[in-house]
Amino acid sequence: MVYFCRALIYFEQADRAQNKYNEIAMIKIRIIGCGCDSCERLERNVKSAAERAKVEYEFLKVCDYETKMTPILIIDENLISSGKVLSVNEIEEKLEALSWQRK
């Protein structure tokens, strides 16, 4: 839990630098990891799913070598997965559901 809280601090710092319009218009996608193969695969899957779902997104990857359950996927401040690599289809479903909620 401590590691997850540290990552949220990183997000808050990054969010302060963002334009308010972009914060509203784009889906925020965050990956917390240590740079391992699983983290890299999840990043590729997320970007592919976002392109397939045709959503505008802001992507941030946080490298935290002390995090134990990597990779962690957060979309619009919602914890989506921890400790596993989701497929492109699974991520696409989550993105589409979130984009419908925003409308």
CA distances for 64 relative to 2, 39, 51, 83, 95, angstroms: 12, 11, 26, 14, 24
Q: In what order do the strands lie in the sheet with 57-63?
A: 57-63, 27-33, 72-75, 78-82
Task: Decide the pairing of beta strands 57-63 and 72-75.
Answer: unpaired
From the candidates 5, 34, 36, 63, give the one annotated as an active-site residue: 36
Amino acid at 92: E
- Whether 63 sits among the annotated catalytic residues: the reply is no
User: Which run of H or of E encompasses 73?
Assistant: strand 72-75
Which of 5, 34, 39, 63 is labelled catalytic? 39
User: Is 5 annotated in the active site?
Assistant: no
Q: Which residues are catalytic?
A: 36, 39
